[in-house]
Structure 1
Amino acid sequence: MKTKIALLLTIVLVINANAQEIDFGKFDNYVKKSMRDFNIPGLAIGVIQNGDIVFQQGYGVSMVGEDQRISTNSMFGIASLSKGFTAASVGMLVEEGKLNWDDKVTKHLPNWKLSDPIVTNMMTIEDLLCHRSGLKTFDGDLLWYGSNYSREEIITRIQYLPLSYEFRNGFGYQNIMFITAGEVIAKVSGMSWDKFVDTRILNPLGMTQTISSITKYKENTKIAYPHLKRKPQELLNYDNSGATAALNSNVVDMMTWTKFWLNEGIHHGDTLLKASTVRKIFSVQNPLNVSNFDATIGTHFKGYGFGWFLMDYNGKKVVHHGGGLPGYITKVVLVPEENMGVVILTNDMSSICTALMYRLLDEAFGEAKRDWSKDFSSYSKRSDSLSTVKMNKQDQERKAETTPTLPLESYVGTYTDKFYGNATISIEGKGKKAKLKIVLEPAKALFTATCDHWENDSFVFKFNDEFLPRGFANFKLEGAKISGFNIDLPNPDFHFSNLNFVKQ
């Protein structure tokens, strides 16, 4: 009898050790402190444990300079959190027998191509969903960012971008492949990706406020407007990003989405996705390296499933994904064995979502309360400082005494990059006030700028897009004529270095 009691007591103690009660009063204060650390305008967060919403709160303002407060109903662009909806959509079609995970992409999109015909013919639906195509992280994103290209044209133009690593032997976070998956869903289901998600996921789950386009916002919609360093930005239309980043939602709806996954695809007794499909989606399809940082916090494995990142933390499997668009950073975190989920939505650029994720995991697992906000905000400040140092160095090394090789009129014309499309160079002003003007035609609202001479045949400019730093148009000569130009605009998100504009 004593043995049985001791065993029972041990089990109870283990359960209690695993399922810590979070002090949300203290956590509320920590969120407020974190917002000061990162200096962001607004945030909404929700936490679910054992099927119950245990914390749900909005903080800050929807727009700096305005009075409207962030609430749990405030709408954010959730960006790459859309990928989980795409993975679920594919899973549903597989369960219906309309798709197979290992179907070749060309079976459903016969005209689709990558630059390598062998990879084109081998690429499967699974490959589209786990970032192993051979294209680098964010390669091709200029095709959809602010552009007038349709989803169909985006996935057609990607064939002109060379692969960077061996197919299925690396990781390159690929938005274009998810847009392609969305087009497969449309072809197989007979309805657009947006309509499929709406019909098969959002409506059954009662996620009535989640939409796939800002054009669906109503006059009374509470919008958390995007910000860049606390400066309000206009809403951008990302409809053409479709299955990779188009959704807009709020904490209330995303709590329902989180509960759906924790319930292994069941909502109010209805099975929308089989448990076996959920397990497949949450299984490592593409392993990732464990960084030095990961190792110091006790993470032993990392990988990508279908539309979700996977890792371990304090002995628990953590399923998570972040989303980022200029002015928005978001995150969803699931700990299935603890029946715990977290949603964090913000309307500025920072790593606060990751800091709050680790803080909540520590709270839930009973770990020492590291000040993740302080650590991550210091990393961000260090990065900003390095960017300033780099810019100052460029200024110091500039050969300001040089002049363009040719008169400005010689630089004027239409230039074409086969992958991206046309750019036009014209002259603004007259005489000594004359300057070159650059316009990238597919995204002219964002990518238009007046250029100042920098050195030799290089001109410095700042696009209309406040998200991007300054850049340089470097013109090339063949003999006594301008033959083309390229753009030097280093940034982690949009790869202008892939573009080579040739004068027509």
Structure 2
Amino acid sequence: MTTRPSRIHRGPVVLAAVAVLALAAAGCTDTATSSSAVPTSGTRSLLPQPPGPTARLGEQQVDTAVGQLDSIVQDAMSRTGVPGVAVAVVYRDQVVYSKGFGVREVGKPDAVDPDTVFQVASVSKPVASTIVAGVVGRKTIAWDDPVIKYNPSFSLRDPFVTANASFADLMSHRSGLYTGAGDLLEDLGFDQDYILPRLNQQPLDAFRASYNYSNFGYTEGGVAAADAAKQSWDALAQDTLFGPLGMTSSSYEHSVYESRPNKALIHVREDGANGATWQAKYLRDADAEAPAGGLSSSVRDMAQFIRLQLGAGKFGGTQVIDPAALQETHIPHQDLHTPQQPGARTQFYGLGWNVSYDDQGRLRLDHSGAFALGAATNVALLPVEQLGIVTFTNGYPIGVPEAVNNAFFDAAQNGRPTVDWLGFYGKALAASEEQPPNPYDTAPAHPKPPQALTAYTGTYDSPYYGPLTVAEGNGKLQITMGPPEKPTTFPLTAYDGDTFTFASIGENATGTSGAIFKPGPDGRIDGVTLTFYDQRGLGTFTRGA
């Protein structure tokens, strides 16, 4: 397998779309995103809360829905071909369903079961906020504490935000960091120690008045909490949550996932001469953003996590997480989605949870995970019903886990699924992937020839991405960048004059991109801008002397 894709769908767009679409079961199918402000000065939302409903589902209704899960999952697999699925359901502190379907890797017989370990992508976030709630409950930190108090090296572009950004700000995506901040560094192979200090070069949106899904902002919150606890993030996760809950298949370390004998590989779906096929082509090491996306786990383990959530931090009769600290993760902190249609409702982000209210006025908590390189997951809770479900898949995000979980809740409420949830999610996610025409996909009709290739060779530098080398070999140019221990080399293709093209890579790849060399006043090439890496104005490299 290779870790270097040449063209995949856009990671940030898919992730942002999944974050909003996962709330559809709350009765709002208007899925436009919004950055409308929520007036907050601390962690608690000032928006009025709906009155608390009573439970509306009976045991027989839940049993009926559980009885339909096999067919719901099998239908989704039949329609999509997704290789493997695992599902667990918790009801009234009991695991009432736990099952695997399909295979861990296409072309091999090893079956998925409840203990199969999946990379769960952003389902890492509610697990991470629960771990941080454990630190809050011990009074080591407070949700409203500025993270700089515990990580003095923390810095964002605005000194006021640096001084005031709290754990709640970072873990509700309202720090002002834009969606995808730092992600392209991760795609190049840079580690957490390189990425987090460079977030201060990223432009900021409005502090506490904008929602932008930021993996590395979230990661900073988790890492700062671990710093406050004087532990590594992995040790904190083990001591605070995995150990007490017996989550023996869960880890935030990619090497541990790789060592598991019973693990699901990630898959992408590609069109071929004989139709679409699923392939296990890529590796996804998310250690750099571990609290936000690096968790691997099984549905058996996640069922214990759901028990803890529905039990207000209590597990097996023991109070593992302080209930007040945990409750802060379950309430609205940031406006996620302003309704665009009459009768639709506002949607929110808590601390690692999407927060919404359904047609019966019940609080619903959920979160999706998506790797464009081949994973899709969802966990969803109805706390007043003491009901929760988790679905993991080892396939590219096309809406399968969200569809399964929504169909289950729908069947519990109405006796059967009343909506084609897979069709809904599939259509919406496909629309989110649509891209405008790429000017670099088509060569100009009458391109200018480039200069002699030696005019471009040499060493360039960026304060954000680091050094870049342009070299000539066999009559072609190539650029090399990334961490010195594992650099990435991109072959360049002449496009038009001083502009060349290359194929973007990684979770966030968008296809062909431009490398635009720029002459200085004396005509000598003194810089190059890589358009794929210039999404926030950080992609220009200056040539050395």
Give me the TM-score of the superposition, normalised by structure 1.
0.87
Match of 2:482 in 1: 441
Change over 3 Å in CA distance of 1:220–1:402 after alignment to 2: closer
Match of 1:407 in 2: 452
Match of 2:524 in 1: 481
Whether 1:373 and 2:415 are equivalent positions in the alignment is no
1:390 to 431, 437, 457: 437
Match of 1:330 in 2: 377
Aligned-residue offset at 1:61: 1.7
Match of 2:472 in 1: 427
Match of 1:103 in 2: 145
Whether 1:273 and 2:321 are equivalent positions in the alignment is yes
Deviations 1:397-441 (A, max 9, x none): x31431344212211222222122222221231xxxx22212222
Matched AA of 1:73 = D
Change over 3 Å in CA distance of 1:464–1:162 after alignment to 2: closer
1:140 to 182, 186, 200: 182
Query: Does the 8 Å contact 1:405/1:457 carry over to 2?
Result: yes
Matched AA of 1:352 = V
- SS of residue in 2 equivalent to 1:278: helix
Matched AA of 2:525 = I
Q: Which fold has the larger relative contact order, with Cα–Cα distance below 8 Å and residues 6 or more apart in sequence?
A: 2
Deviations 1:471-501 (A, max 9, x none): 22222222312222222339xxx95764222
1:307 to 349, 352, 370: 352
Change over 3 Å in CA distance of 1:132–1:337 after alignment to 2: same
Aligned-residue offset at 1:282: 0.5
Deviations 1:283-307 (A, max 9, x none): 1111222355xx58x7513111111
Query: Does the 8 Å contact 1:487/1:497 carry over to 2?
Result: no
Alpha-carbon separation, structure 2, partners of 1:464 and 1:306: 31
More helix by share: 1
1:162 to 197, 203, 212: 203
Change over 3 Å in CA distance of 1:290–1:19 after alignment to 2: farther
Change over 3 Å in CA distance of 1:125–1:53 after alignment to 2: same
Aligned-residue offset at 1:130: 0.9
Alpha-carbon separation, structure 2, partners of 1:184 and 1:132: 17
- SS of residue in 2 equivalent to 1:103: coil
Whether 1:129 and 2:171 are equivalent positions in the alignment is yes
Alpha-carbon separation, structure 2, partners of 1:301 and 1:466: 30
Match of 1:5 in 2: none
Alpha-carbon separation, structure 2, partners of 1:264 and 1:380: 33
Aligned-residue offset at 1:254: 0.7
Match of 2:365 in 1: 319
Query: Does the 8 Å contact 1:128/1:177 carry over to 2?
Result: yes
Q: Which has the larger radius of gyration?
A: 1
**Pairing 1:65-104 to 2, within 5 Å after superposition:** 65-104=107-146
Aligned-residue offset at 1:82: 1.9
Query: Does the 8 Å contact 1:448/1:464 carry over to 2?
Result: no
Alpha-carbon separation, structure 1, partners of 2:370 and 2:337: 22
Query: Does the 8 Å contact 2:65/2:409 carry over to 1?
Result: no
Alpha-carbon separation, structure 1, partners of 2:287 and 2:139: 28
Alpha-carbon separation, structure 1, partners of 2:317 and 2:348: 31
Matched AA of 2:412 = A
Query: Does the 8 Å contact 1:461/1:470 carry over to 2?
Result: yes
Ranges in structure 1 where 5+ consecutive residues have no aligned partner? 1-10
Change over 3 Å in CA distance of 1:13–1:196 after alignment to 2: closer
Query: Does the 8 Å contact 2:186/2:288 carry over to 1?
Result: yes
Change over 3 Å in CA distance of 1:302–1:74 after alignment to 2: same
Alpha-carbon separation, structure 1, partners of 2:364 and 2:528: 46
Change over 3 Å in CA distance of 1:13–1:128 after alignment to 2: closer
Alpha-carbon separation, structure 1, partners of 2:366 and 2:418: 21
Query: Does the 8 Å contact 2:65/2:408 carry over to 1?
Result: no
Match of 1:246 in 2: 294
Alpha-carbon separation, structure 2, partners of 1:443 and 1:342: 43
Matched AA of 1:375 = F
Q: How many residues matched?
A: 478
Aligned-residue offset at 1:47: 1.6
- SS of residue in 2 equivalent to 1:53: strand
Aligned-residue offset at 1:99: 1.0
Match of 1:33 in 2: 75
Alpha-carbon separation, structure 1, partners of 2:259 and 2:337: 46
Change over 3 Å in CA distance of 1:17–1:195 after alignment to 2: closer
Alpha-carbon separation, structure 2, partners of 1:225 and 1:487: 32
Alpha-carbon separation, structure 2, partners of 1:471 and 1:183: 33
Aligned-residue offset at 1:16: 4.4
Deviations 1:182-238 (A, max 9, x none): 221222111101101111110110001111223124766111111121221343332
- SS of residue in 2 equivalent to 1:184: helix
Change over 3 Å in CA distance of 1:83–1:13 after alignment to 2: closer
Matched AA of 2:540 = N
Whether 1:358 and 2:399 are equivalent positions in the alignment is no
Alpha-carbon separation, structure 2, partners of 1:273 and 1:257: 11
Whether 1:341 and 2:411 are equivalent positions in the alignment is no
Match of 1:418 in 2: 463
**Pairing 1:170-319 to 2, within 5 Å after superposition:** 170-217=210-257, 221-229=261-269, 230-292=278-340, 300-315=345-360, 316-319=362-365
Change over 3 Å in CA distance of 1:286–1:220 after alignment to 2: closer
Matched AA of 1:71 = D
Aligned-residue offset at 1:461: 1.9
Match of 1:62 in 2: 104
